[in-house]
Amino acid sequence: AAALERRPFCMGGGFGAAARDTFKYSGKVRPGKQSPKRSVPKSISKPDYWKDGQPKARGPMLPWQIQKKSEADIEGMRAAGRIAREVLDLAGAAVAPGVTTEAIDALVHEAAVSRGAYPSPLNYHGFPKSCCTSVNEVICHGIPDSTKLRDGDIVNIDITCYYGGYHGDCSETFLVGEVDEAGRQLVKVTHDAWQAAIAYCAPGKEYKGIGAIIEDYIAPHGYSTVREFCGHGVGSVFHETPNVIHARNNEPGTMQVGHTFTIEPMICEGVEKHILWRDGWTATTKDGKRSAQFEHTLLVTPDGIEALTARTENSTPFWWEK
CA angle, 185 then 190 then 100, to 5°: 80
pLDDT tier, 26 (very low <50, low <70, confident <90, very high otherwise): very high
Average pLDDT, whole number, for the chain?
A: 93
Cα 44 from chain centre: 23
- 12 pLDDT exceeds 70? no
For 253-316, the DSSP string reads -B--TT-EEEE--EEESS---EEE-TTS--EEETT---EEE-BEEEEEETTEEEETT---TTSP
Where is average pLDDT lowest: 3-7, 73-77, 193-197? Answer: 3-7
* Phi and psi at residue 284, to the nearest 5°: -120, 160
User: Which are the contacts of 72, defined by CB distance < 8 A and separation ≥ 6?
Assistant: none
C-beta neighbour count of 107 within 10 angstroms: 18
Q: What is the mean pLDDT of residues 76-87?
A: 98
What pLDDT is stored for residue 19 in this prediction? 55
The answer to whether the beta carbons of residues 176 and 149 sit under 8 Å apart is yes
What pLDDT is stored for residue 14 in this prediction? 33
Calculate what percentage of the chain has a pLDDT beyond 70: 94
Number of H helices, E strands in the chain: 4, 16
Q: What is the mean pLDDT of residues 198-212?
A: 98
Helix, strand, or coil (residue 246): coil
User: Which are the contacts of 305, defined by CB distance < 8 A and separation ≥ 6?
Assistant: 198, 199, 201, 202, 298, 299
Q: What is the mean pLDDT of residues 284-293?
A: 98
- 236 pLDDT exceeds 50? yes
The answer to whether the beta carbons of residues 161 and 117 sit under 8 Å apart is yes
Candidates 166, 294, 140; CA nearest to 229 is: 140
Q: What is the mean pLDDT of residues 251-276?
A: 97
CA angle, 265 then 268 then 270, to 5°: 155
Cα 112 from chain centre: 16
